[in-house]
Structure 1
Amino acid sequence: MLVFFVLGLLVHLVFFASIFDIYFTSPLVHGMTPQFTPLPPPARRLVLIVADGLRADSLYELDDDGKSRAPFIRNIIMHEGSWGVSHTHVPTESRPGHVALIAGFYEDVSAVAKGWKENPVEFDSLFNESKYTWSWGSPDILPMFAKGASGDHVYTHSYGAEREDFGAHDATKLDTWVFDNVKDFFHDARNNQSLFAKLNDEKIVFFLHLLGIDTNGHAHRPYSREYQDNIKKVDDGVKEIVSVFKHFYGNDGKTTFIFTSDHGMTDWDWKLENWKRLDVSQADIAPLMASLIGVPFPLNSVGTLPVDYLNNTDLFKAESMFTNAVQILEQFKVKMTQKKEVTLSFLFTPFKLLSDSKQQNFLRKARSYIKQGQYDKVVSLCKELIHLALKGLSYYHTYDRFFLGVNVALGFVGWTSYASLLIIKSHSDLTGGVRKEVKKPGRLLPCSFVAIGILVAFFLLIQACPWTYYVYCLLPVSIWYAVLREFQVIRDLAVSLSTFPLSRFAGSLSVFALGIEVLVLSFFYRYMLTAGLIAFASWPFFTQLWTRAKITSLGWTCFSLLLAVFPLMPVVGRKPDLSLVMGAGLLVLLLSLLVITSLIKRKDNFVNQELLVHVFQMLSTVFSMLVVYGTHSSLLRKQGLPLLNQIVSWTLLGSSLVVPLLSPTSLFQRLFSIFASLMPTYLLLSTGYEALFPLVLSCLMFVWIQIEQETRQQSGVSCKQKLTSIEFSCNTDITQFRQLGLDDIRRAFFLVFFLVTAFFGTGNIASINSFDLASVYCFLTVFSPFMMGALMMWKILIPFVLVMCAFEAVQLTTHLSSKSLFLIVLVISDIMALHFFFLVKDYGSWLDIGTSISHYVIVMSMTTVLVFLNGLAQLLTTTQLRLSGRPKSHLV
């Protein structure tokens, strides 16, 4: 069985990794010829100012007094410049937004593995194409564009990472630092002849990255006074910078200013209807900037030049648009050549909408229109060519997607079939009790699959496919060989099912399929979890549980209905409500007090260590409540995160996995100890109603254990031990294990449903991807994406741990091997994963595509993480540490 689990882990890792080869590969190609417009550009220099995290509505709308928060920028909109909304793609994070702005393409999500800080692949950018670039701002953003630049012409000036503190007294200092350093830079340049000469050259770029607005937005919310005041500070700073440039360059009219944001936008009305609004996609800004100063378009840019922003001749607009089209067409041609070289000629299917002849026809027509002075037709034709070239790029980028998808799907179906057969063969009596001697298959079967494997490998070899393709294509061959080797089990199963009542079989299968579909739909619609929990609540009334155990059934119904409320609540991260966090802490204290009272009453079995553990857990809860309240108050006073609060928070986090090991291993006491130790950490990571979620979930888990015990008794099985006398033990007597029954499929389904509820009960994909940073302020406020992400991941895992520990108790009380139940869970998870594999989108909005991929990744992670969670649950439930003295009896 150990071999099976190791192989299963490897197989799922392959399935998990396949998504990166199918959907997350870099779209970039190299080897294109740089393209630039052969006409004098309108500007000699460009100033790019990016206000990180600035929302369009916050900038454009008027305040309650009818005044603008950014009067200087609004005056520019009305009298001098053009304006619009830049539409970004998710993830709305600093790095991908700046890559889109400066390099012209939407970076693939695989860059998250490097924290968006390093280049997963090298790419061209506006800075690289410029003669000189000077940049000021965040150390997280500036270095990545300097690192990718050829030569030594991109200069960076960044502050220390410690300045990016969400709990700082005044985050606007991040912006004033940039403005002050730019002013000092130009002041010093007058006394530096070398620098003065460079600054008076052409094709130069100045980049000002302003992080204060984003920092204040995370710390105080986008509608806070701090956020809105920061916009006014930025407006004043931009006004000063414009003045500095005009003074330094003598107001020569050759400086272009672009003010934008990396993320944050809306479609609201801001009383600017009389001024033409020119919206763009974020990647369109890179070709615009290149055109303005006359440098080659970034080689990997997929943006379309917004010609309406160019205040120049129609000839210049037409030539620039033609350059844009040729630049994107170059990428298409390189991509097509690369794919053609590694595909057998009789299997290669070219992109028919843009054949060689059609490409030439487009270019000839465009040149002809330019000669004839029909510039509007040039722009229209080039936009059509760009549209087709981008479609062609996508076509060749996803050329192997169907082929790889079919192979992975075959592997999925095969693995699920093999796991199901293993359950039937080793853990059930569905095939008729004592098995006959298994006949070994002949040589025909293995020889056939070896031949198939050789043919597949040869097919991949002659096409020079990556080594990962061999894994995806050969894995289904070996899996299906393992399936067909169990032909005797398949035959016995068919015979057994033929004697099974058809109506009962169809009914059970329908209920199982409906349950799977509810789980799948809950990923898209959280209220489906509510529907499932309501169905759970009514379950005892359709069985004998209601007549045999009324109190337990009522508890199950009440807590199921209480838990059903959470998926109907808005996702976590909208508005903090510390009163709910405090209320959850008080409820935990009340439960702990009841447990301590019961311990004191049992003087004959009283153990000092138990009392110390519970007292420590109660103190931990009190400290966590004080830290949450104190940190929130300190941040409101702009005094930052108190060091004492930070120390207490990390201490409570560190002790949360150790303290439960000091409690007795009796079932309910150990489970309550785990809950009471994890809750303080969860409270520290909570900002609102979600603090109540693990409390209700844990109560339902306690009742679940009891109700499963009642179910076993209802089925006529005599349970010798009461729940209060059962202890967790790492040395379980395997002779007590029984074969699987149909009820165990329900238990496994309950586990999967509770795990999904634990994940989506208080959030969804969007809220998890863009989590509220306020949740980690008790631990740190200085920006650290990996540490903050790790803390939020632990917050997500805490309900998982509570469910898995309860599941350990269910297995113990029902005398069922964890291996057999885990196999059923594996099959359920794989069926869900196969659903999401087919539901992955490569069309529509980026949000739709990203969400569909996230669903698949989550389910695949669940099947692999379950192994880790199962091990952690066993460690937490069976391991016991002693402070001192000899072991004592822990019978309750």
Structure 2
Amino acid sequence: MGIPVFILAGLLVHCVFLVSIFDIYFSSPLVHGMTPQQTPLPPPAKRLVLFVADGLRADSLYELDSSGTPRAPFLRGILENNGSWGISHTRVPTESRPGHVALIAGFYEDVSAVAKGWKENPVEFDSVFNESKYTWSWGSPDILPMFAKGATGDHVYTFCYAAESEDFGAEDAAKLDIWVFDHVKSFFNSSRSNQTLFSALNEDKVVLFLHLLGIDTNGHAHRPNSREYQENIKQVDEGVKEIASLIDNFYGNDGKTAFILTSDHGMTDWGSHGAGHPSETLTPLIVWGAGVNYPQKVTTQLFEDNFLKEWKLENLKRLDVNQADIAPLMASLIGVPFPLNSVGTLPLEYLNTSALFKAESMFTNAIQILEQFKVKMSQKKETTLSILFTPFKPLSASEQINILKKIRLYIEQQKYDEAVSLCKTLINLALEGLSYYHTYDRLFLGLSIAVSFVGWTTYVILVIIKAHTDLTKTVSANKKKSTVLFYGFVSAGMIIAFFLLIQACPWTYYIYCLLPVPVWYAVVKEISVIQDLATNVLSLHIGQFIGFLLVCILGIEILVFSFFYRSALTVGLLVFAGWPVITQLWIQAKMFSVALSTYVVGSTHDSLKIKQGLPVMNQIISWMTLVFSPVLLLLSPTFLFERLFSILLSLMSTYLLLSTGYEALFPLALFGLMFVWINMEQEALQHYGLSLKPKLAVFNFTCTMDITQFRQLHLDDVRRSFFFVFFIVTAFFGTGNIASINSFDPASVYCFLTVFSPFMMGGLLLLKVAIPFVLVSCAFEAVQVTTQLSSKSLFLIVLVISDIMALHFFFLVKDYGSWLDIGTSISHYLLVMSLTIFMMVMNGLAQLLTTQRLGLPRRNKHHSM
């Protein structure tokens, strides 16, 4: 296999590995074709008002301030005297779009939606808004349109402010919430002179949605413990009080309005969200008005946390829910069908209705979730051979009928508690069944990918041994045997394809299940190499071979362990520091761009602190530094030390502009470590007795080396490749972890922009993450050329190490347990798989940065003889 073909095959195989987990673990859970279900009894409320205070933490709302007074006195009065309260537990990722989907549609959005920035609808879904008679909503253009886009008919109306208003660096962001409150007031005032609008507002099943983004924006800009964040909570409290009074007066205090205040997610102390810290996943829930229970006095409450005592609420019953439970609560209050894909369970303790209404509502909830189960089962049964289909036994067709009959009998006999209890049992069984059929194909798809993983890694090892070592001799294959082998694998592929065809499997299944065929064909073709290798291994000292194997396994396990415990990197660095060769290098250079970047960061911070926004000159300098730094480094000489130092200064200027604290020093520390590594590896060449050992001080990256000078691989080269992977992992985790990457802290990009732009901000943050990678890749390029090895040979070893790690993480991917564990397991696998592909790109970029030079025009000088 030629080099271009090998690289292309490697990219394709790893792309399949990368996307496979979304089909195997995280395909969309939604199904369509269910019958809408709604409670047959009259609802307690005619209309619902939903306030979502974006980014509001539960403790920030419920706790008392330093003087012992409530931060939100109106809402505190509601939960003490008029309504019910608790904590809404969100799931990871704690971002605005999935939070609102869980609140309003009742299901937890699949991870693939992040690819569209949580804005566009990756799939169409039902929602409380869609089921309502009319919905009017005010707030952010990032949230409101997605619920209007998914709605059927023309009954969901949105009023959004301009996207440019979401500026983290401008004046107090509470103006976003004031905009919402003012426009709601104007809306109701205008309805008095608009008969059509007035009539619509007086219909049943009406929803009013106020999305309040100011708290989230102030939290990002100033942190949740800031005066701005806490003052914004007071302003929201006052605004909610005014709107509630306005609506009650508009409807003549008819007592038919239900109010809900909650949040899509919380926020960390450092002003970010996206991960699974309790400050991000615990959000407030306060419900009052028509059909809602009054406060319930209790003497003791058992919760694992100590919040009740801190908040002085230990005597008021706290009713916790999952975020998806709020959608069926809203549907039940105004009597609309439960959202078709909702997986929430109606929290009955919030309702102040008859026992019959509660039982009928819970029965509706159970049938609605059972409908999803039946559709999911039907779909899977249609795409599976009948002799192979294994149904979900705890909820067979006969069992469904028995449970439904029993529930209906309990309701008729007025045994409402027994009916509710059985409904909850049915809901739990239906949710288990949904999960069972959703993961039905996971085993055989996972095995196919695992077999492909092992086959590909085996093939790469054989390529390394065959082309870059003296362990085997090339033997021409027997043509007859090769032909039989080829047709044997083709036949196996046809059988697999036929099996998938008669089951009407998705086209991606063909890729996953057929991939092992060509991969293992390539392995089996090298049977002569395997035989030679086995012979040579048996001739080696068995203790030496086992020792080498154990060291390799230990090294890879340390890398895997470092993803969970950052201290493992310290162990690796201490081992590296124990290597006895230390060389001091002193290089002098002007550091003008670094000094300028340092000034810009400080100046921008001061300007934002006094709320004067991002200075235009600072913004211009930041973007110019970002654009011209890579160009300036290409003007430097290509001697090893000079070029590497130029790379550091150029990239560190950009890194400084994207830093918020101590991490600005990380590239400098990493740079020093890379220089030590290059020196140590070059000194180690003496063990091979090479006659040509270039001096690093005069080594030029552009010097062409005779390919005949490239040597064969030694065991030390495995160590060099391992160090490269180890330093790549260190570069990634040196200043953060998986949670910090998932969390979005816009403060890092304030030197470039302050107006919210997820893709631009995300791109800049990815650039910051990539800079340490570039430093390590350039150092690895120096190691390759100074140790007289072809880049292909070392990189193949790197590929094997990273693929073994990836296979390890493939089996650690979870879709159960805590959502922090699930999100972390996805991130680990995607990170390692992305590194495998990313390092191929980094290798080419490093060659460009180290070897290319832009020549400035010079005036020709004429010399007389």
Give the alignment's TM-score, normalised by structure 2: 0.93
**Structure 2 equivalent of residue 372 of structure 1:** 413
- Residue equivalent to 2:14: 12
Write the letter of the residue equivalent to 1:343: T
In 1, Cα distance between equivalents of 2:699 and 2:753: 41
Tell me if 1:487 matches 2:527.
Answer: yes
The CA distance in 1 between the partners of 2:441 and 2:256, in whole Å, is 48
After the TM superposition, which residues 237-276 of structure 1 pair with which residues of structure 2 at under 5 Å, given as runs?
237-264=239-266, 265-266=281-282, 267=305, 268-269=307-308, 270-276=311-317
Please tell me whether residue 735 in structure 1 is matched to residue 708 in structure 2.
yes
C-alpha distance in 2 between matches for 1:168 and 1:280: 36
Specify which of 471, 480, 498 is matched with residue 538 of structure 2: 498
Match of 2:362 among 321, 342, 362: 321
* Residue of structure 1 equivalent to 2:398: 357
Aligned length: 819
Contact 2:632 2:650 in 1 (8 A): yes
Trace 1:801-820 onto structure 2 (pairs within 5 A).
801-820=774-793
In structure 1, the partner of 2:856 is 883
- Please report how far the alpha carbon of residue 706 of structure 1 lies from its aligned counterpart in structure 2 after TM superposition: 0.5
Alignment-derived partner of residue 395 in structure 1: 436
Please show how residues 627-646 of structure 1 align to structure 2 within 5 Å: 627-646=600-619
Report the counterpart of residue 285 of structure 2 in structure 1.
none
Answering whether residue 483 of structure 2 is matched by residue 510 of structure 1, we say: no
TM-superposed deviation, 1:46: 0.1
Amino acid at match of 1:190: R
Cα deviation for residue 882 of structure 1 reads 1.4
- Among 116, 119, 135, the alignment partner of 1:117 is 119
Once the 2 structures are TM-superposed, how far is the Cα of residue 850 of structure 1 from its aligned partner? 1.6
In structure 1, how many angstroms separate the alpha carbons of the residues matched to 2:859 and 2:519? Answer: 52
Candidates 763, 766, 782, aligned match of 1:790? 763
The offset of 1:731, in angstroms, is 4.4
Q: What residue identity is the alignment partner of 1:474?
A: L
Report the CA distance between 1:437 and its aligned residue: 4.5
Aligned pairs (5 A) from 1:287-366:
287-366=328-407
The question of 1:415 aligning with 2:408 is answered no
Q: How far apart are the structure 1 equivalents of 2:722 and 2:602?
A: 39
Per the TM alignment, residue 849 of structure 1 is displaced from its structure 2 partner at its CA by 1.3
- Which structure 2 residues correspond to residues 734-813 of structure 1 after superposition, within 5 A? 734-813=707-786
Find the residue that maps to 1:658 and give its secondary structure. helix
How much does 1:730 deviate? 7.7
Partners of 1:352 and 1:843 lie apart in 2 by: 21
Aligned: 1:164 with 2:166: yes
For the residue of structure 1 that corresponds to 2:634, the secondary structure is: helix
1:595 and 2:595 correspond: no
In the alignment, the residues of structure 2 paired with residue 803 and residue 337 of structure 1 have an alpha-carbon distance, to the nearest angstrom, of 52
> Residues 45-124 of structure 1: matches in 2 within 5 Å?
45-124=47-126
Greater displacement, 810-819 / 727-736: 727-736
Distance 2:238 2:6 in 1: 66
Q: Deviations over 1:312-339 (max 9, x none)?
A: 1111000000000000000000000000
Kept in 2: contact 1:713–1:719 (CA 8 A): no
Report deviation, 1:886.
Answer: 7.2
Secondary structure of the residue aligned to 2:515 is helix
Structure 1 distance, partners of 2:706, 2:70, is 75
Q: How does 1:637-786 map to 2 (within 5 A)?
A: 637-729=610-702, 731-786=704-759
Whether the aligned pair in 2 keeps the contact of 1:33 and 1:330 (CA below 8 Å) is yes
Alignment of 1:469-488 (within 5 A): 469-488=509-528
Taking the aligned partners of 1:469 and 1:437, their CA distance within structure 2 comes to 36
User: In structure 1, what residue type is equivalent to 2:827?
Assistant: S
**Structure 2 residue aligned with 1:449:** 489
- 1:833 alignment counterpart: 806
Secondary structure at 1:32 match in 2: coil
Return the offset for 1:842: 2.2
C-alpha displacement at 1:720, in angstroms? 3.7
The SS at the match of 1:135 is strand
Alpha-carbon distance between aligned partners in 1 of 2:64 and 2:160, rounded to the nearest angstrom:
33
Q: Is the 8 A contact 1:35 1:297 kept in 2?
A: yes
Q: Tell me the percent identity.
A: 71
Partner SS state of residue 262, structure 1: coil
Q: Is the 8 A contact 1:9 1:864 kept in 2?
A: yes
- CA deviation digits over 1:438-490, x for unaligned, max 9? 54434321121111111000000000011111111111011101100000000
3-state secondary structure, aligned to 1:83:
strand
1:383 aligns with 2:424: yes
Gaps of 5+ in 2: 267-280, 283-304
Cα distance in 2, alignment partners of residues 693 and 21 from structure 1: 38
Q: Distance in 1 between matches of 2:629 and 2:116?
A: 29
Q: SS of the counterpart of 2:754?
A: coil
In 1, Cα distance between equivalents of 2:186 and 2:482: 84
Match of 2:233 in 1: 231
Q: Which amino acid aligns with 1:298?
A: P
Give the deviation of 1:537 after TM superposition.
1.6
Aligned equivalents of 2:364 and 2:475: distance in 1?
76
Match of 1:464 in 2: 504
C-alpha RMSD over aligned residues = 1.4
Q: Does 1:280 align with 2:321?
A: yes
Shift of 1:732: 4.0
Contact 1:124 1:149 in 2 (8 A): yes
Task: Map Cα deviations across residues 336-392 of structure 1 (whole Å, 9 max, x no partner).
Answer: 000000000000010111101111111111101101111111111111111110111
- 1:604 alignment counterpart: none
1:537 and 2:606 correspond? no
Contact 2:474 2:529 in 1 (8 A): no
Query: In structure 2, the residue corresponding to 1:85 is in which secondary structure?
Result: strand
Specify the code of the residue in structure 1 equivalent to 2:650: S
Whether the 8 Å CA contact 1:83–1:278 is kept in 2: the answer is yes
Unaligned residue ranges in structure 1 (runs of 5+): 541-545, 557-590, 597-614
Partner of residue 605, structure 1:
none
In 1, the alpha carbon distance for the partners of 2:372 and 2:704 equals 63
Q: Give the whole-Å Cα distance in 1 for the aligned partners of 2:859 and 2:124.
A: 63
Maintained 8 Å contact 1:325/1:382: yes
Confirm or deny: 8 A CA contact 1:701 1:806 kept in the other structure. Answer: yes
